Amino acid sequence: MDRNYLRAVFRIRLHIDDIATLYKIKEFLGVGYVTIHGSNCLYTIGDLYSLKTVLLPLLDEYNLLTSKWLDYLDFKSVVNYLYTTGSSRLSADKLAWASAIINGMNSGRTVINSSLMPTITINPFWLLGFIEAEGTFGLKTLSPYFQLAQHSRNLILLEAIALYLKSLVKGFTFSVNTSSPVIGMTLNKRTSVSVLSIRNIDALYDYLMFFLLDMPFQTRKGEEFYYWCLVLHMHKLGYFYLSEGRSLTANIANYINKGRYSNNPDKTIAPSIETINNVLSLTLPVTITPEMLHVDLAQKFARAISTRNIWVYDNGVLVNDKPFTTFASANASYWTLSY
């Protein structure tokens, strides 16, 4: 709103690396334009005719499922008013009306009228879009996790997504003892953000990964997902427990998410296909069996590759340039050298 004039604009903002996605949307809708602003890019529909005849019918048919739906209803009322009157100049009473709408939208919304919200129905393609916008394929201490975060006002949606994820069909049928995903739900009281998370390696691999591998990612979030899948694969089968596997995982952890952005001054180089193939061609000391859960595999690897590094010093001087693996060999070598 500028003085007595009101204008309605629809925008989608993405990182510049995903500008191709905005051009796809522009081509699909046949209206609007794409602009670049530093490290961000915007898709904008600013004319009332396109908003009224293209955007509103689309969103009326395919409802938003978060509290943004309530923002849409307010936005829609403004577009319809401006389109009907044919003028953006507001009278005194309409100025108050418009100000109340603007101040009560988005972060200014304090009341959530759930009776106005659409019925929540989760389907794979809606979920994929939601994940591309709000999901994280992360690595914490080099271990894969998946999470979705929303303001607590949208907790009912996260709960619906959790039920959907629990109902996924197992994609990796080799494992026989894997249970359906256990969904963690936490609340950050300081930010009022609720987080849905899955951290179990077997559930991530056997259910979620195979579900999403069949889905058509539209942004570069897909690239992050595929590298994340590689790390998950190395955990599931045991390559992660080899030094080469941990090194590759560390490289991927530095690359995905913000590490890959073109405007990152410390941008990390993605691992080469040759490096990946070299790791996956290594011989594993332990082979997964159908009844084995990931925790069983990890324990067997720990026993199979555990070695002692024993360094021997004589008055502060290193006796051998390589560590011994047993106390007996260290003791024998020390006395031989001493003699």
Structure confidence at residue 258 (pLDDT): 75
Sketch the domain layout of the chain as residue ranges.
10-110, 124-280, 307-339
From the number of C-beta atoms within 10 Å of its C-beta (0-12, 13-18, 19+), residue 88 rates as middle
In angstroms, the CA 191 to CA 188 distance is: 6
Question: The domain 124-280: what is its CATH number?
Answer: 3.10.28.10
Torsional class of 201: left (φ above 0), alpha (ψ -120 to 50), beta (otherwise)? alpha
pLDDT, residue 333, reads 62
Whether the domain at 10-110 and the domain at 124-280 fall into the same CATH topology: yes
Which tokens belong to 201? Answer: 């390696």
Domain 10-110 has CATH 3.40.50.2000: no
| Alpha carbon separation from 156 to 8, 64, 267, 332 (Å, rounded) | 30, 14, 37, 67
- pLDDT (0 to 100) of residue 339: 43
Residue 318: strand pairing partners: 313
Length of the chain: 339
Q: What is the DSSP letter of 43?
A: E
Alpha-helix runs per DSSP H in the chain: 19-29, 48-50, 56-61, 68-85, 92-103, 124-134, 155-166, 201-203, 210-213, 221-237, 243-255, 273-280, 294-305, 327-338
Averages of pLDDT over runs of 10 residues in the chain (339 residues) are: 89 95 97 96 96 97 94 95 88 88 86 88 96 95 96 93 97 95 94 96 98 95 96 97 94 86 82 96 94 94 73 70 68 56
